[in-house]
């Protein structure tokens, strides 16, 4: 079970010529149990966001204290004071119902043992998604993401700065965050992430379509442990005012199991 105290946000937006700025402060308390890993986390963060016509820049500072245990073992404490930088470039014909164009997202975060962190680390992450429209009723969607946390060890690094994969926005067919490093029977965050996806959609009417897809990828604590875990299947697409709703039957090749998956494919 996951229990969240919703972030308390205080935001101001000011127009500075062609640039919009947004300042925010958030506080989080979380108790989570997933894939054999129990975590208790508290965090506070402050951000400034710069919004241009086709790109956004986000800079901030986050402090996290996290207790975690795997397989019901002993609790371990991880703390990090991390500067964070994020860049998003977006050029699509419609943010809520994209038919063509692309979105790139790049994130950096780091911590140092000399400044209130339990481990020296640098987290790097990038994702690119592109929509093609070969015809008015045909659509191809490609996505790739990669991440690496540079550190001597994953020990002492909160889960938020590590990687797990699996789920509706990752490798479909696998349970949410079920792909990652292993501690006994538990799945925990690793220092490496690599996934990719290819999807074809045929629109039979302005509102309804069908899709076939293939996802592949993994997360691990060493590059040599990454595996090409495949998930593939078919689905239904429904264009709604909030974006295309996807309902898929996805088969996880590693688990030999099919799962029902829901998602909304917007260009955020």
Residue tagged 């010529």 (tokens): 17
For residue range 32-58, list pLDDT tens digits in order.
Answer: 999 999 999 999 999 999 999 889 999
Beta bridge partners of residue 252, listed in sequence order: 231, 257
What tens digit of pLDDT does each residue of 148-175 get? Answer: 999 999 999 999 999 999 999 999 999 9
Say if residues 160 and 64 touch (Cβ distance below 8 Å): yes
- pTM here is 0.90
Residues 235, 250: Cα–Cα separation, whole Å: 8
- Beta-carbon contacts of 130 under 8 Å, excluding residues fewer than 6 positions away, are 101, 102, 103, 141, 142, 143
CATH number for position 148 = 2.40.160.50
Give the tens place of pLDDT for each residue, 64-85: 999 999 987 899 999 999 999 9
Q: How far is CA 237 from CA 3, 131, 245, in A?
A: 31, 15, 6
Is 4 a domain residue? no
For residue 124, being part of any structural domain is answered with yes
- 83-107 pLDDT tens trace: 999 999 999 998 888 999 999 999 9
Q: Using CA atoms, how far apart are residues 85 and 61, in angstroms rounded to an integer?
A: 9
Using the structure block, give the residue that is written with the tokens 């990687």: 163
In a domain? residue 28: no
**Domain total in the chain:** 1
Chain position carrying tokens 């790139």:
104
Averaged pLDDT for residues 185-195: 97
**How far apart, in whole angstroms, are the C-alpha atoms of residue 204 and residue 237?**
10
Tens of pLDDT, residue by residue over 231-247, are: 999 999 999 888 889 99
- pLDDT class for 129, splitting at 50, 70, 90? very high
Q: Which domain holds residue 120?
A: 51-264
Q: Is residue 161 part of a domain?
A: yes
More confident residue, 50 or 18: 50
Secondary structure (3-state) at 102: strand
pLDDT at 241: 86
Q: Would 20 be classed as within a structural domain?
A: no
Q: What is the pLDDT of residue 18?
A: 63
């Amino acid at each position: 079970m996951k229990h969240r105290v919703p972030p308390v946000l205080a935001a101001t937006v000011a127009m500075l010529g062609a640039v919009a700025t947004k300042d925010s402060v958030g506080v989080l308390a979380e108790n989570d149990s997933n894939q054999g890993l129990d975590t208790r986390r508290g965090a506070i963060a402050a951000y400034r966001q710069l919004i241009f016509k086709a790109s956004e820049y986000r800079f901030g500072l986050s402090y996290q204290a996290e207790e975690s245990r795997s397989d019901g073992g002993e609790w371990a404490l991880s703390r990090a004071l991390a500067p964070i930088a994020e860049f998003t470039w977006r050029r699509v014909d419609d943010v809520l119902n994209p038919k063509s164009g692309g979105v790139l997202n790049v994130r950096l975060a780091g911590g140092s043992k000399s400044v209130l962190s339990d481990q020296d680390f640098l987290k790097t992450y990038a994702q690119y998604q592109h929509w093609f429209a070969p015809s008015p009723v045909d659509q191809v969607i490609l996505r790739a993401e990669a991440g690496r946390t540079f550190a001597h060890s994953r020990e002492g690094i909160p889960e938020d700065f590590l990687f797990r994969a699996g789920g509706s926005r990752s490798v479909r067919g696998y349970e949410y965050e079920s792909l990652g490093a292993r501690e006994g029977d538990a799945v925990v965050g690793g220092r490496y992430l690599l996934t990719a996806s290819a999807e074809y959609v045929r629109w039979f009417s302005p509102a309804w379509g069908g899709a076939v897809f293939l996802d592949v990828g993994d997360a691990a604590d060493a590059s040599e442990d990454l595996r090409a875990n495949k998930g593939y299947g078919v689905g239904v697409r429904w264009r709604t005012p909030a974006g295309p709703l996807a309902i898929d039957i996805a088969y996880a090749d590693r688990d030999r199991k099919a799962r029902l998956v829901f998602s909304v494919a917007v260009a955020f």
